[in-house]
Amino acid sequence: MLALLSAASMLILREPMRVALALITSMTSLAAVYGLMGVHFIAAFQVLIYVGAVMVFMVYVIMLLQLRESNVADRWSALRWPGVLVAGLLLAVLAVVARGVDADRMPRAPLGQSFTLVEFSTDFLSRYWLEFELTTVFLVGAIVAALAVIGVSRRQGAASGASVETGAERQHG
Partner 1 sequence: MDKVSFLLFVSGGLFTIGLLGVIIRRNALVMLMCMELMLNGVNLSLVTFSQQRGDAAGAVMVFLTFVVATAEIALAIPIVLLLVRQWRSLDAARYSTLRG
* 30 vs 46: CA distance, rounded Å: 8
Kindly tell me which of 149 and 170 has the beta carbon lying closer to partner 1: 149
**HSE (side-chain half, CA atoms, 13 Å) at 137:** 6
Minimal distance in Å, beta carbon 170 to partner 1? 23
Q: CB of 173: closest distance to partner 1 in angstroms?
A: 28
Q: At what angle do helices 129-172 and 117-126 cross, to 10 degrees?
A: 80
Task: Provide the minimum distance between the beta carbon of 22 and partner 1 in the complex, in angstroms, as a whole number.
Answer: 9
Nearer to partner 1, 130 or 169 (CB): 130
In the bound state with partner 1, the residue whose beta carbon lies nearer, of 135 and 166, is 135
Q: Are the C-beta atoms of 23 and 11 separated by less than 8 Å?
A: no
Contacts of 62 (CB under 8 A, 6+ apart): 16, 17, 20
**DSSP character string of 155-167:** HHHHHHHHHHHHH
Residue 149 vs 169, nearer CB to partner 1? 149
Comparing CB distances to partner 1, the nearer of 18 and 165 is 18
Q: Least separation, in Å, of the C-beta of 165 and partner 1?
A: 18
| Nearest distance in Å: CB 19, partner 1 | 5
Query: Distance (Å, rounded) from C-alpha 5 to C-alpha 7?
Result: 5
Element of type H or E holding 95:
helix 80-100
